Structure 1
Amino acid sequence: MQCREFQGCYHSAMTLFSAFTSQELLLAFGVAFLAGWIKGMVGFAMPMVLVSGLSMILSPDLAIAGLILPTIVTNGFQAFREGVPAAIDAIRQFRVFLSVGLVFLLLGAQLVSIVPEKTFVLIIGIPVTFFALIQMLGLKLTLEKSSARIEASIGSIAGFVGGLSGVWGPPTVLYLTALNTPKAVQMRVQGVIYSLGAVALLVAHLGSGIFNAQTAPFSAVLILPALIGMWVGLQLQSRIDQARFRKVTLLVLLIAGLNLLRRGILG
């Protein structure tokens, strides 16, 4: 249903909030804070944490709608933290990944109600878990340099899964980690990639109907706890060196992969 007047929109939003108990709202705020904290530490995993946490108390559609605005705001902050020129340079450097990922994200978002999500989260969860696990066990897989073909392939996977499930971080981090991207650059590049992806996700789900006048206020109230959590995470991230940053990133990536497997197997 589309709201044509402000009063109608306000009524719809209040109806949605009245359906929550105070405990559910507090849990939603806690999930947003945790997602922001982890993002501040390693630069990714906010959609994964938000979708996983919110889906325990809300419908999957509302969980996806809820992550959209906090993801846009926190990724925008992360992308432009070092200034506009640095962000533009990151866009130029990863333009193939971004352009291909955008196309596939828009395609994936249109299939949310058609294709079983389990199929796609399993396809991405298996290699992500395998990659993170063997890296943590000491086998270091690296790419000496990227190529347009590799970048386009990973961008298409990240975009399609992101459009379908709202989670596009693991394939992106897998790629950046294999390139052994420096910590500061990795944080900035992730911010740029995820910012553009989050805006594309917003546009896609305006079209799919998941993000609308009823669900937007819920997404908006999750921005503040997510930003507070991100600030806390950034204070910790600035104190760890490159080697430890890589280990923490791989640990979060492993958890992300295992969570994708759980969603694919158990739903």
Structure 2
Amino acid sequence: MISSFALPLAIPHAVPLITRIGVVAATFVVAGFVKGVTGMGLPTVAMGVLGTLMLPAQAAALLLLPSFVTNVWQLFAGPDVRALAKRLWPMMAGIVAGTLAAAPFIAGGGGAWAVTGLGAALMLYAAAGLRAWRFPVPARHERWLSPVIGTVTGVVTGGTGVFVVPAVPYLQGLELTREDLVQALGLSFTVSTIALAAGLANAHAFAASDLSNSLAAVLPALLGMWLGQRVRGRISAVSFRRWFFICLLGLGVQLAARVFV
């Protein structure tokens, strides 16, 4: 379990507690800012940055409430969540099943390879973003492809704490309206967050006593999201996304290389 924003890998306990808390708070402000500008990215940024400072299971436990709060906000801001849930429920079921099955890996069974897996997931997502990969999904294939994509996304979520691969490219390929896409992403991320919390709890890597740390991260995440929304119309979305993916790629490479150092 996590105690007092412990950062065991890169920041020694001799560093004042206020400094360790400040590092975590700043991470969630940045992650919230990215989500405010782009509509996604909070868990990915938080896992990428915190993954360089602590074990992936600890980072995943910290991001649970900030991810849940911001994604529920995004989920219910759209037009018709019931119709979307009815269409995407096979994918959501796959996410839950895959996450619960893979959660023991990030909770400790994977060791250093969990960090490598996190790095690989970030690199893949960054590459997809930089290359602007789009995979149109014909309607006739959605019925069987949706649960497959959900299950793979769940396995990646349970193994690395990253929710976006391959869920985001798949949802983008469904040719949803902009409003429905944003809401579908919120639905996917919300289900992933809940499933990850359950998976970590089942693996004894998260308990009710850890909620205070995660709750403390909600405010900086919301602050960052508010700031991102304020500046969204004043900056180039294309340039911002490009630099976001470049930074994410760098984090992924650093994490993936750790096992070889």
Tell me whether the two structures share a fold, i.e. TM-score over 0.5.
yes
1:47 maps to amino acid? P
Q: Partner of 1:198: helix, strand, or coil?
A: helix
1:80 maps to amino acid? F
Gaps of at least 5 residues in structure 2 are: 8-12
Question: Corresponding residue for 2:138?
Answer: 145
Give the CA deviation at 1:87. Answer: 1.8
Question: Corresponding residue for 1:105?
Answer: 99
On the 8 A contact 1:33/1:226 being kept in 2, the answer is yes
The alignment of Structure 1 onto Structure 2 pairs a total of residues equal to 247
Deviations 1:164-205 (A, max 9, x none): 111112422222333454332222111111111111111111
2:41 maps to amino acid? A
Cα separation, partners in 2 of 1:257 and 1:56, compared to 1, 3 Å:
closer
**Over aligned residues, Cα RMSD in angstroms?**
3.2
On the 8 A contact 1:70/1:226 being kept in 2, the answer is yes
1:60 to 56, 77, 90: 56
TM superposition score normalised by structure 2: 0.79
1:134 paired to 2:128:
no
2:19 maps to amino acid? Q
1:33 to 9, 23, 29: 29
Question: Corresponding residue for 1:218?
Answer: 213
Give the CA deviation at 1:127. Answer: 4.6
Cα distance in 1 between the residues matched to 2:6 and 2:134: 47
1:208 paired to 2:203:
yes
Give the CA deviation at 1:209. Answer: 1.9
Question: Corresponding residue for 1:92?
Answer: 86
Give the CA deviation at 1:128. Answer: 3.5
Gaps of at least 5 residues in structure 1 are: 2-11
Cα separation, partners in 2 of 1:150 and 1:190, compared to 1, 3 Å:
same
2:67 maps to amino acid? T
Q: Partner of 1:82: helix, strand, or coil?
A: coil
2:254 maps to amino acid? R
Cα distance in 2 between the residues matched to 1:142 and 1:245: 21
1:172 maps to amino acid? A
On the 8 A contact 1:38/1:46 being kept in 2, the answer is yes
Question: Corresponding residue for 1:9?
Answer: none
Cα separation, partners in 2 of 1:160 and 1:258, compared to 1, 3 Å:
farther
Give the CA deviation at 1:142. Answer: 3.7
Give the CA deviation at 1:45. Answer: 1.7
Give the CA deviation at 1:265. Answer: 2.6
Cα separation, partners in 2 of 1:221 and 1:125, compared to 1, 3 Å:
closer
How do 1:50-199 and structure 2 match up within 5 A? 50-82=46-78, 86-112=80-106, 113-115=108-110, 116-117=113-114, 120-121=117-118, 124-125=121-122, 127-135=124-132, 141-146=134-139, 147-199=142-194
1:225 maps to amino acid? P
Cα distance in 1 between the residues matched to 2:60 and 2:251: 16
Which moves more between the two structures, 92-101 or 66-75? 92-101
On the 8 A contact 1:35/1:229 being kept in 2, the answer is yes
Q: Identical aligned pairs, as a percentage?
A: 20
Cα distance in 2 between the residues matched to 1:247 and 1:170: 22
